[in-house]
Amino acid sequence: MLARGRRLTGSGSVPEVPSSGRPAGLPADAPAPPRPLPPSRGTRYLMPPTNPGPSVPSPSVVCVGESMAVLVADGPGPLRSDSALRLTFGGAESNTAMTLATLGHSTAWISRVGADDLGRSLTAVVRSGGVDTSAVVTDPRRPTGLYLRQPGGPGGHSRSSYYRRGSAASALGPDLLRDPRARRLLAGAEIVHLTGITAALSDSCLALLRNLLARPRRYRVSFDLNWRPALWQDRDPSVLRHLLDEADLVLMGADEAALALGTGEPGELRALLPSPGTLIVKDAEHHATAVERDGTSTTEPSLHVDVVEPTGAGDAFAAGCLAGVLRGLDARRRLRLGHLAAAAALSTPDDFGTPPPPPAVATLLHSSPEDWAATTVTAAGIGTSTRAADQCGR
């Protein structure tokens, strides 16, 4: 058995420092799919009529929002003139899209990037992860966003400094819905995935989210709170509650919910957000709870993980849950798939991790509570003290 580490789901938000500027095969005895997520209530704006054009397969999930270039320092502490910086790329929505792609689901990412090397490289990286980037717009006047991540050392949080003010993605707006490439993707999507980060970037970004959440709509919406306090210093965060309540599936960490909404308790959050079909609240190293609109709740413990870097784990958790929705899994297995995807992200230094192979995923989704509780995830792979170890390819 591999050494047991901290148990995390990746629900916590990473502190920001303001700066200027196909599914795996399932066993034959798998339970019948649950009823679909019920739609949330309310009517608002109409999305413009869509002509999808030529018959091109549409992604199941479309993720909309900013991604950035990331400079990762070689170690904790202040930067020095001889510090080594590694260039990588990440962002909540593209992280979720790429994780879904590794889980076998067709995805697309819609955003704006600068007409610069960072924007071209970012788009290429996301595309290489199996994500449709055909509706990513190149902005000739605004730059691609950038952030610097400094590791926090053993057991500590990373420190992230963002340089995104005036970025290309901050110019996203309702005019996106007139772009034929974006309209085609949205017309065929089963789920559109959004986050609270986009709402904080600009008035036009907020207007875009309101339009994407408007009813009637052809797709379901998942919305990850993704609370970033530094982004809301000059904006009104009270808009988040309304946005969240217009979604069909809502995800949030208990810690960030306490800061943004005043409580992290699932029942109280459900009272604040009565409309979504499902509300999922992650309690870091302990568990995640799914609360349905009728009050039914399901709680599933987190996995034991040797954490390398927490950034991106919440995005991966969202991807796992969305994959569970697409596969028709019950609430418990949706949460398990979320935990598995998050564990993969936690065990890598980058924003994005590769989930376990499909046979291991299928085995763990249907394992006993005892086998699940004994499972450990490290950078080396999956380990468990029970018979599930042999079935997970160890």
- Model confidence at 20: pLDDT above 90: no
Segment 255-279 shows an average pLDDT of 97
Give me the pLDDT at residue 54, please.
Answer: 43
In a domain? residue 279:
yes
In a domain? residue 26:
no
Give me the pLDDT at residue 379, please.
Answer: 81
Segment 361-382 shows an average pLDDT of 90
Burial of 88 (0-12, 13-18, 19+ CB in 10 A): middle
pLDDT top residue among 36 and 275 = 275
Segment 69-94 shows an average pLDDT of 89
In a domain? residue 11:
no
Catalytic, 315? Answer yes
For the chain, the helix, strand and coil percentages under 3-state DSSP, each to the nearest 5: 35, 20, 45
In a domain? residue 70:
yes
CATH number of the domain to which 258 belongs:
3.40.1190.20
What is the identity of the amino acid at 10? G
Which residue range(s) make up the domain with 330? 61-384
For 290-341, what is each residue's pLDDT tens digit? 999 999 999 999 998 888 888 889 999 999 999 999 999 999 999 999 999 9
The active-site residue, picked from 139, 224, 306, 315, is: 315
pLDDT top residue among 46 and 109 = 109
For 139-171, what is each residue's pLDDT tens digit? 999 999 999 988 776 555 678 888 999 999 999
Give me the pLDDT at residue 28, please.
Answer: 46
Rounded CA-CA distance 154/104 in Å is 33
Q: Which residues are registered as beta bridge partners of 354? A: none
From residue 28, alpha-carbon distances to 31, 119, 315 in Å are 9, 45, 30
- Count of CB atoms within 10 A of residue 64's CB? 26
In a domain? residue 10:
no
Domain count, the chain: 1
In a domain? residue 43:
no
In a domain? residue 337:
yes
Percent of the chain with pLDDT over 70: 81
Judge if pTM exceeds 0.85: no
What is the identity of the amino acid at 365? L
In a domain? residue 37:
no
Give me the pLDDT at residue 57, please.
Answer: 65
Give me the pLDDT at residue 385, please.
Answer: 54
Rounded CA-CA distance 368/269 in Å is 30
Segment 194-221 shows an average pLDDT of 97
The position carrying tokens 């970012």 is 122
What is the identity of the amino acid at 257? A
Give me the pLDDT at residue 129, please.
Answer: 95
Percent of the chain with pLDDT over 90: 66
- Model confidence at 199: pLDDT above 90: yes
